[in-house]
Amino acid sequence: MNTNIYIGSEIDPLQSVVIHRPGDELENLMPQYMERLLFDDIPYLPAIQREHDIFAAELQKTGAQVLYLKDLVVDVLQDDEKRQSFCTEFLQRYYSFEHDIYQEVLSYLKELTAEELFQTVTTGIKKKMIASKRPLHLADMIGQSYPFYVDPMTNLYFSRDAQSVIGDAVSINMMDQKARACEPFLMETVFQQHSKFVGQASHLWLNREHGYRIEGGDILVLRPDVLAIGISARTSPQAIESLARTLFTEKSAVTKVLAIELPKKRAFMHLDTVFTMVDHDKFTIHPAILGSQESVFLLEPAEDGEISITRQSHLQEALGRALDLAEVTFIPCGGGDPITAAREQWSDGANTFAVAPGKVMTYERNATTNRLLREYGLEVIEIPDSELSRGRGGPRCMTFPLYRKPL
């Protein structure tokens, strides 16, 4: 297993990537709890798995090593001591139960095999699974009672958000939504305990230690020295400033961070839902974030050890200056047509995933955007997405790249 860790650009040739195949966690979606679990619809599991398998096969065709999150975590959990510690820390960190229920849930988890444990914590622990071992409590018997002690990780196939590789360091992110709070624990376990991953990263930053929310969909590595980070509904300005300070003080290659403010709407959930890098000087973009309301800030290290923050006039100009480009090309989602752009952005038309400079993966349903990408000279690999797109995330959302070969 090649576990080199380095991301110096969104477009360098992809060498290894972590993904999660949608599983039985999606079978625990119910209409009355979709908003709580961050879904607008219920995918059909056999179909979404077929689509995801095609996605994985296309990744492999590019020459990239495809690693599955489940395999990595189960590798760690084969060790009895690590498995027991995982159970205890998982519950103590993310859940608050009455003492007797905590002990019952913990005992239940500790009896499971490694694979069963991964399956259980990701698909959710139903109250009736525990109640079968003891008398029912009144709360369990109330008709409208929420059926889970531990929520299903329904968003787990969007493996981008819980962690990020920046240069040769790893940020374990603090998720904004309760439904996704547990996800970072899985790759944190891998980086801290998997024999092939321990010590691979130069730094392992645990954002939960400072309490500022930040998600991987908002973090774009444009060049070894330049990041773009979205100020979004899921990533706070305090988190961006904290990460910038860490990067600057720990002498990483990063010397510029462009913070881009987004509308606080579900359709603009992360920066990569409206803006992605597809070539050295080309970017996909949802036109709705451009215009008079643009808010772009450049963060740089100051001589006194503090951070210099300057407001930039326009995103396109700011990118040109930061990346030393004479011209920056924006490729508008949906061709810029208001109706088509809104429709294709809803199905993540701008959420492209570059596997090499000028070679991107997209959802096939975004026909106008895909045609335009080709007109700009890009190679486009289309993925079927009738079910994948129901989760409101695209190809970039579904990938956690570990290593890209520097050009």
Q: Can you state the angle between helices 80-94 and 69-77, rounded to 10 degrees? A: 110
**Tokens found for residue 300:** 């740089």
Residue corresponding to tokens 């998997």:
194
86 and 116 Cβ atoms separated by less than 8 Å:
no
Q: CB of 247 within 8 A of CB of 166?
A: yes
Q: Are 153 and 39 in contact (CB under 8 A)?
A: no
Strands (E), 313-407: 329-332, 353-356, 359-363, 379-383, 400-404
Nearest to 310 by CA among 259, 265, 270: 259
Describe the crossing of helices 80-94 and 99-110 by its angle, rounded to 10 degrees.
Answer: 150
Report which residue type is found at 59.
L
User: What is the C-alpha to C-alpha distance for residues 400 and 18, in angstroms, rounded to an integer?
Assistant: 5
Give the integer Cα–Cα distance in Å for 243 and 205: 9
| Tokens found for residue 182 | 């547990």
Is there a contact between 28 and 124 (Cβ–Cβ < 8 Å)?
yes
**Rounded CA separation 407/404 (Å):** 9
- Rg (C-alpha) for the chain, rounded Å, is 21
Angstrom distance (rounded) from CA 43 to CA 162 = 22
Collapse the DSSP code of 191 into the 3-class scheme (helix H, G, I; strand E, B; otherwise coil) and give the result. helix
397 catalytic? Reply is yes
For 283, phi then psi, to 5°, come to -140, 140
Q: How far apart are CA 264 and CA 73, in angstroms?
A: 34
Which residues are part of the catalytic machinery?
Answer: 397
